[in-house]
Structure 1
């Protein structure tokens, strides 16, 4: 194992504990504030379609943002994980009832009632454990979002969603890690070139 892999493993453990340790009331308040900033960014950039993640465990809850997108009649896509290939397939999502428990216990689009799509969203909302002010992200280690980035390219806006406690100074990176265009937290919107 190289130094970057070890450093990422240690940082994942540390930041998972910090995020899990946030009181539910703090997570709710910060999630709501971050969603307001996501709405502002979506309006500012004129996104008409977004790929979202379905919040899991102690992740920033973006359901208020997803529901706002539906109200505004924006196209909402959610991923299904293909664990064997470590890839994601996009599905349109129109309501919560179209989700079922999938890979890793995460709610995913129900492939019995929804058809996959090759559509490329205007923006991808990305979860993670840590984000820094260079647009780097520390994910969970599977590389799903990095592979999806390789597939659809940089023409899409990549937006990290985080609690302020997940904003750190330094993240170890290697050549496969995506660089985000924005990080949105309860503190506001950070922009990167």
Structure 2
């Protein structure tokens, strides 16, 4: 199954890479608009987000919107053994540095640690998604392990481009589902 996942990941990411810079900017703006109008976002006081890497949905403006709205912004830092360490961010310029694989992460110095149970809404990255709420990550298992540490009712909302939706994702026992997926075409919710 690992090979099947790897091939699917490669296929979808190469498809995502064909989006032009203009398409990516326009779609990212639409996705941000959908996110900020969801009840999960509006009602949350502590929001966990990711900073985009390579050709993912652009999240920097969304992160700034979280800060500007007075909500608490939490970003993950990749630690050894596929563990996400959480830190509260107060300034996107001062509190961020390149981490593992060049992904922008909270600075190691001065981390303001946040416990997973404090999060009200998790905005999640991923490589591919299906309409059953299954998510294919980037292969490290960080988010699947992390989801085990949050409150059961904490909404897990993936943010991606519509081209990342596939018919079916191979699922293993440790794979965790998402509650919703937001693309430039709208919001899809899963039971």
TM-score by length of 1: 0.93
Superposed, 1:152-191 pairs within 5 Å as 152-191=150-189
Residue matched to 1:106: 103
After TM superposition, give the deviation of residue 155 of structure 1 in Å: 2.1
Tell me if 1:92 matches 2:80. Answer: no
Q: Distance in 2 between matches of 1:45 and 1:37?
A: 11
Q: Distance in 2 between matches of 1:43 and 1:173?
A: 26
Aligned residues: 189
Can you give the 5+ residue segments of structure 1 that lack an aligned partner in the other structure?
A: none
After TM superposition, give the deviation of residue 45 of structure 1 in Å: 5.4
Shift in alpha-carbon separation, 1:20–1:68, aligned structure 2, 3 A: same
After TM superposition, give the deviation of residue 151 of structure 1 in Å: 1.5
Residue matched to 1:17: 14
Give me the CA root mean square deviation: 1.4
Can you give the 5+ residue segments of structure 2 that lack an aligned partner in the other structure?
A: none
| DSSP-derived class of the 1:96 partner | coil
Per mean C-alpha deviation after superposition, the further-off stretch among 61-70 and 5-14 is 61-70
After TM superposition, give the deviation of residue 6 of structure 1 in Å: 1.4
2:32 to 21, 32, 35: 35
TM-score by length of 2: 0.94
Deviations 1:36-71 (A, max 9, x none): 011011567511111000100001112222121111
Per mean C-alpha deviation after superposition, the further-off stretch among 138-147 and 38-47 is 38-47
Deviations 1:133-192 (A, max 9, x none): 111111001000000011124221001001011112111111111111110111111111
Q: Answer yes or no: is the 8 Å Cα contact 2:89–2:112 preserved in 1.
A: no
Q: Distance in 2 between matches of 1:115 and 1:142?
A: 24
Superposed, 1:75-90 pairs within 5 Å as 75-82=72-79, 84-90=80-86
